[in-house]
Structure 1
Amino acid sequence: MKISTKILVLLPVFIAFFSCDKALEEDPQNKLKPETVQDYDELLNYGYPTTRDYGTEVPLDFYVEMMTDDQDLSYFNQDANEYAIHPFSFEITHEHSSMMRGYDQAWKNFYEAIYYANVIVENIDGAEGGTAAKNYLKGEAMVLRAFSFFKLINLYAKPYDPGTAASDPGVPLKLDPIVQASSYTRNSVQEIYDQIDSDLTEGTRLMEENDQRVQSKYKLTPVAANLLASRVALYKKDYESVIEFATKVTGENSQIFDISGTTMEEAQTGWGYGQGTHYLSPDNDNVLFVYGSNEYYTYAYLPGALGVSDDFMNTFEPGDLRLYYFSYVKGPQGRIYFKNRPFPNRTGEPVRGFRVEEAYLNRAEAYAESGMLREALDDINYIRRFKFDAQFDEEDGNYYRYSVSDYSGKEEVIDIVREERRRELFGEFHRWYDLRRYGMPEIRHQYNDETYILPAGDPRYILQIPQVELDFNPSMEKNPR
């Protein structure tokens, strides 16, 4: 039997597990499983988060990007705005699902990825094949499982707080592929993060000790795993570990995507097509890992609905070419950005990725929070060196370098680092999560004559558990509203 057939046979197991109806109570029997390492390697492709929904595409978590202070709605496409207005006005609910197959598919899709990772972790040791290949694949599955839990806990639970994490409700912790008749409850935030840390530690070790020298940017590598570990540590405010993991990344790959050879005049022509197309290309040396498919619902609004906010645009300095790589301005349609177009086909199609720049940004923030201000600005300046017009006049004072002597102390440097992070990672689905860990500040959106406000610390910074899950699991605690 070919592996494709075996995978299809396994799909009903997943559907039964996640359909949230009576099928959840049934334990499927006599299901065929993969046999070789190659079989399991192909099956693990389903463990990578994607917008897949068995032949169609649904959003992962793009809607949280629409809720940030980086976004604005234009006045051009009123039909598109009927859909976009819900997340833009901070009103994400599952009652909107009939409009566009559900804004919030993250719960389903990330638990799907966890299911397949669990299948590999549970069964790979008994597969036919070499020990090194099996160990590497198990490590890859564990890191993928950690990534999915990390996304879930930062969508549906409070930001990590060491003082309350043990009692804060998180998400269900499911570590085996066995269907249970009983309903699921929420584990604590601390339990989820403990599992994330455990999976990352053991998974990365297995990958490093059994490195298969994977060349594909669509597969996790030990370097990408260390970048994820630095991000997790940053969210936990474990700054020593952030520095450790980020330094492992930069020790293996210090490449920054260089746009400094483009002049400002060149960048402002051609609507940014040539520049923005390749910012996240898998061909770039600085790109470590890409995942997910192009979410056509995500930016189907462009160029009609979503644009870049004035608040974000005003953070750019003269000479910073990223402004023109990320957006252009065209009349009533508003500002339209192209940074996330991974391939030169059509505009407005984002792809998710891990880049070396994030390692420097994570480490810079950890340095700044630890009072190592010079080191923090060194990392920031290293990135900025490749993002400004190399012919820009340094003498006029508007150039890329920051100096510790220009700032009065730690808090100002932290602000500098955070603003640089905002600019460099724009549109890559970091901003919402960053705002959460910054203390959940107030966000204001303006559209037509309406002002929409997300107050500081508002419960809507935590997404509601999908209603279908709450209906099936009455013991599962809802998030407050």
Structure 2
Amino acid sequence: MRQKFIYICIAIAGVFMHSCDRYLDIQPVGTVVPSTESDFRALLTSGYSVFPTHKSLLSLRTDELLLDEFSTDMAVLKDIYIWNDQAPDPTTLSYPWATFYKSIFYANLLLTEIDDKLGDNEVTKQLKAEAYLLRAYSHFELLNCYAPVYSDANKQHRGVPIAETIDLEQKFPVRTVEEVYTFIANDMARATELMQIGNQPSEHRYRFSKRALHAFAARLHLYRSEWKQALSEAQTALAIEGGLVDLNDGEALLPNDFESVESIQAWDNPSTAQLQSSTNVSEHIISLYDQVNDQRFAYYFKKSGNEYRSLKGGDNRFKVSFRNGELYLIVAEAALHLDNKTVALEAFRTLAQHRLSASAASEQENKLDALSNEELLEFLQEERTRELALEGLRWYDLKRWGRPEIQHLFLGETYTLQKEDPRYTIRYPREAIENNPELL
């Protein structure tokens, strides 16, 4: 008990945060051992607040961006951009590891203490549901960074350590991909039983809700190629709120704006100010858009000299973990794999009506109706790339779509990530290995 109390005090004294009324206004308060509802909410907010901006770094590894050779941050980003994971410059930004486990720690601390302090009621159920999902999502993101994509062949592959309890003396062995997914599924099941809030208001949009829970489940099943479950979870989330931003309205919010109708959870920061100021959008991504009839083009990008810059990041307004645009595409992809072309076409049609001019949407509908399922899956990949550009999901999609070859031209030299390159699975960070011999 004394050991646990010491651990609690160390953690709370370190980065205890308090949730204010506005989503963008989270300020630290003093040190306190949690005992009240507000204490535990502040504790959970700490877990949300320290969550890493890893997707911003992952985007540099994809075919979405060009690193500006004259950027002031070029030195700390270049080895990420050229996939030099073996011997990066010491100044290179590290992929996060400890920060994931810090978020997990806050979740574990809440789950350990809250029943004794507050008992069983609707408030504690909601807080516990969010803590279980915070822990599950952190392990899910760790797995997607540091392990291969899920498949029957990879189920027993090394994954990541599982952190389930608070114990100063516990060891953290690497668990298999399947073991980590089982742990995640169990946490999500607990959260499903406890969750009280169907949809978070915009000022609390960083928090988990029933809508976010189903969106998370839809993505998880998508990544595991569990098409029936992915379809069901996406449709359940859309049934709670299925609205889409209509980009034909010249004053519409960006779809990934946290106040937009389709924002489900605005927590991840996939395009930090540093990434925004250091990169241009690749010619490959720009070439995928009909620049006249696809309204996303003018909303997503702006021309700067001879290059294009993204308008989707660099500000807390554009934090995004889940939104409805992705869910419609999950419905379409899962339905196609289930040979349900009718459901897939309806999802494509709904999205097109809110993204393309009326004539282009009608033309696309007629074109897609004549395609085979295999051809529609090819369209799905391009449409997912267009819709979700620079929202931090491209790296994961490339991994699950066969790990294609990517080339980056930098300082006059061409660097290649080969097809099915092992570098699609990121190495454990050096400092993580130094601190945990179990990773060797």
- Asked if residue 168 in structure 1 is aligned to residue 157 in structure 2, the reply is yes
**Equivalent runs, 1:270-281 vs 2, <5 Å:** 278-281=254-257
Q: Secondary structure at the match of 2:334?
A: helix
Matches of 1:454 and 1:294 in 2, distance apart?
22
Q: Which amino acid aligns with 2:118?
A: E
Q: Is the 8 A contact 1:341 1:351 kept in 2?
A: no
Q: Deviations over 1:308-358 (max 9, x none)?
A: 1111111112400111111122224x21111225568xxxxx523321111
Q: Is the 8 A contact 1:183 1:472 kept in 2?
A: no
1:331 to 300, 305, 311: 305
Q: Which amino acid aligns with 1:66?
A: L
2:167 match: 178
2:58 to 53, 60, 64: 64
- Asked if residue 242 in structure 1 is aligned to residue 236 in structure 2, the reply is no
Matches of 2:98 and 2:83 in 1, distance apart?
21
- Asked if residue 145 in structure 1 is aligned to residue 135 in structure 2, the reply is yes
Matches of 1:212 and 1:8 in 2, distance apart?
31
2:266 match: 290
Matches of 1:177 and 1:202 in 2, distance apart?
19
- Asked if residue 45 in structure 1 is aligned to residue 45 in structure 2, the reply is yes
**Equivalent runs, 1:54-453 vs 2, <5 Å:** 59-74=53-68, 77=70, 79-92=72-85, 95-99=88-92, 102-105=93-96, 107-128=97-118, 131-165=121-155, 167-180=156-169, 183-207=171-195, 210-211=196-197, 214-215=200-201, 216-262=204-250, 278-292=254-268, 296=272, 298-299=274-275, 302=277, 305-317=278-290, 318-332=292-306, 334-342=307-315, 351-390=319-358, 393=359, 399-401=363-365, 403-407=367-371, 409-453=372-416
Q: Is the 8 A contact 1:94 1:466 kept in 2?
A: no
Matches of 2:32 and 2:49 in 1, distance apart?
24
Matches of 1:329 and 1:86 in 2, distance apart?
26
Q: Which amino acid aligns with 2:392?
A: F
Q: 1:232 to 1:88 in 2, by over 3 A?
A: same
Q: Secondary structure at the match of 1:46?
A: helix
Q: Secondary structure at the match of 1:174?
A: coil
2:434 match: 471
Q: Secondary structure at the match of 1:451?
A: strand
Q: Secondary structure at the match of 2:378?
A: helix
Q: 1:297 to 1:97 in 2, by over 3 A?
A: farther
Q: Secondary structure at the match of 2:294?
A: coil
Q: 1:424 to 1:129 in 2, by over 3 A?
A: same
Q: Is the 8 A contact 1:72 1:309 kept in 2?
A: yes
Q: Which amino acid aligns with 2:163?
A: K
Q: 1:364 to 1:14 in 2, by over 3 A?
A: farther
2:25 match: none
1:9 match: 9
**Taking structure 2 as the reference length, what is the TM-score of the superposition?**
0.87
Q: Secondary structure at the match of 1:163?
A: helix
Q: Secondary structure at the match of 1:98?
A: coil
Q: 1:135 to 1:307 in 2, by over 3 A?
A: same
Matches of 2:199 and 2:109 in 1, distance apart?
23
Q: Is the 8 A contact 1:307 1:336 kept in 2?
A: yes
Q: Is the 8 A contact 1:376 1:417 kept in 2?
A: no
Q: CA deviation at 1:125?
A: 1.5
Q: CA deviation at 1:35?
A: 1.4
Sequence identity of aligned pairs in percent? 24
Matches of 1:213 and 1:451 in 2, distance apart?
46
Q: Is the 8 A contact 2:56 2:272 kept in 1?
A: no
Q: CA deviation at 1:117?
A: 0.8
Q: Deviations over 1:247-275 (max 9, x none)?
A: 1111111110111123xxxxxxxxxxx77
Q: Is the 8 A contact 1:60 1:109 kept in 2?
A: no
Q: 1:426 to 1:402 in 2, by over 3 A?
A: farther
Q: Is the 8 A contact 2:54 2:270 kept in 1?
A: no
Q: 1:153 to 1:326 in 2, by over 3 A?
A: same
Q: CA deviation at 1:129?
A: 5.4
Name the structure with the higher helix share. 2
Q: 1:294 to 1:385 in 2, by over 3 A?
A: closer
Q: CA deviation at 1:456?
A: 1.1
Matches of 2:182 and 2:9 in 1, distance apart?
33
Q: Is the 8 A contact 1:367 1:373 kept in 2?
A: yes
Q: 1:94 to 1:172 in 2, by over 3 A?
A: farther
Q: 1:465 to 1:236 in 2, by over 3 A?
A: same
Q: Secondary structure at the match of 1:340?
A: coil
Q: 1:330 to 1:404 in 2, by over 3 A?
A: closer
Q: Is the 8 A contact 1:239 1:367 kept in 2?
A: yes
Q: Secondary structure at the match of 1:444?
A: strand
2:24 match: none
**Taking structure 1 as the reference length, what is the TM-score of the superposition?**
0.80
Q: Which amino acid aligns with 1:47?
A: G
Q: Deviations over 1:179-223 (max 9, x none)?
A: 22x54220000000011111112212210xx34874321211111
Structure 1 unaligned spans of 5+: 1-5, 16-30, 53-58, 263-273, 345-349
Q: CA deviation at 1:96?
A: 3.8
Q: CA deviation at 1:60?
A: 2.7
Q: Which amino acid aligns with 1:336?
A: R
